[in-house]
Amino acid sequence: MAALAIAPVADGDIAALIALWTACDLVRPWNDPSSDIELARQYMNSEILVGRIEGDIVASVQVGHDGHRGWLYYLAVSPAHQKSSHGRTMVAAAEDWLRDRGIPKVQLMVRAENTKACAFYDALGYTTAERITYARWLDGRDPTP
């Protein structure tokens, strides 16, 4: 199994990154992936890491923090490379990114119906944090799932 070369996303990677997220069913109509990528790259408290094999992007994770808690988003592994430990490798890279910035806790959200993702994070030792998440669109649109 080839090792991942992990680095921050580069300008020329955007189309391949969006294609990966789409192939992994992470894109939702109410979230424009280009805007999400642009926003994550604007600030020092977030980064999008990509994993490459022979130059091709096969994995990603977006990581950020609010000064106290880190958050993971858009963890993706190409369907052709799943079950290869690349997801674990990307999570570890994101956790290291947070540790390097002195962030002591990491959190993430998973849609309840995404049982594969829940099982993956369970296997990594993540636990369910009993919280209620409130949301509201600031532009007035109807709530989304």
Q: Which string of DSSP letters, residue by residue, matches 72-117? A: EEEEEE-GGGTTSSHHHHHHHHHHHHHHHTT--EEEE---TT-HHH
Whole-number pLDDT of residue 132: 86
> pLDDT tens, 15-68?
999 999 999 989 988 889 999 999 999 999 999 999 999 999 999 999 999 999
SS3 140: coil
Whole-number pLDDT of residue 112: 86
> pLDDT tens, 91-122?
999 999 999 999 999 999 998 888 999 999 99
Whole-number pLDDT of residue 117: 92
Q: How far apart are CA 49 and CA 62, in angstroms?
A: 6
Whole-number pLDDT of residue 2: 77
CB 135 within 8 A of CB 99: no
Question: What's the pLDDT band for 1 if we cut at 50, 70, 90?
Answer: low
Average pLDDT for 137-143: 88
> pLDDT tens, 119-134?
999 999 999 998 888 8
